[in-house]
Amino acid sequence: MELKPYQQQVINNLEKFLEYKNTLADPAQAFNRYWADRVGSYQLNLDGTYRGMTPYKDNIPGATHIAIKVPTAGGKTFIACNAIYSITASLDVAKPKAVVWLVPWSNLLQQTANNLSNPSHPYREKLNALFGNRVEVYEKEQLLQGAGFNPTSVLEQLNIFVFNFSSLRINSRKQDDRKIYQQNGALESFRPMVEPELMLPDTDETALINIIRTLNPIVIVDESHNAESVLSVEMLNNLNPSFVLDLTATPKQNSNIVSFVNAMALKKEHMVKLPVIVYNHSKKEEVISSALHLQR
């Protein structure tokens, strides 16, 4: 499975932004220069209108935080699989390749984990091709049990940790309610690897959250418009990400969008069907009449 033209353009835009980031170091400068060179410098008018792209919003201090706007059914997950390779290639090659993949709902979590794990699925096939078959996908319970997850494995392969928001999104005053914040004997081998200055307050080195923080992961946020609350921002900060990539069809005001895809691009590639037309009628006779009218 290969990228469709509009998907490839998204990756091209991402890689162009990454060039700016590697040159300028500061993500805000990179984002603002990226858009200034494309559409002109940002200028706010007295009447509230503006030209250019609004400046970078530093939502997650210490991390590069950008978004990709792709309509529903546009293949965001496949785009993300390719984006991981582009992002990791722009980072320090000596660092562990760790990705936290966040989804908003439990059913989407299982679907995403299954597709990324299945060797015959196009998503996993693409990841295997990009990372030389050195890819492992973990769900929360596997990580908590240390199943195939150890200091050696995290250094030798691409590690994708699939979570739903509720596993991580919790007020820090209630963090004891979540196993990822608790001491964990199954992860004792990670204790020497965890950096004390990165540990969350009142947590042990073997808590899964501290191991993830030490890995300084890339974070993929699927349906990111569901991750805008105060607790969601806290959730992202708790992960200590190096890079956050939002995937959404409906970005919020604070999104730093580097690539847009419109619905016509999907229609051109036969990714969407004809629109469904819905009317609300109170009588069945009205339903039949409308159906006949539409047919004619």
Cα separation, 112 vs 98, whole angstroms = 17
165-197 pLDDT, tens digit per residue, is 888 876 555 554 578 999 999 999 999 999 999
Distances 215 to 22, 40, 218, 254 between C-alpha atoms, Å: 20, 37, 9, 26
Distances 227 to 172, 181, 189 between C-alpha atoms, Å: 17, 20, 32
pLDDT at 235 over 80: yes
**Of the candidate ranges 33-37, 187-191, 277-281, the one whose mean pLDDT is the lowest:** 277-281
Q: How confident is the model at residue 51 (pLDDT cuts 50, 70, 90)?
A: confident
pLDDT at 176: 46
75-123 pLDDT, tens digit per residue, is 899 999 999 999 999 988 888 899 999 998 888 899 999 999 999 999 9
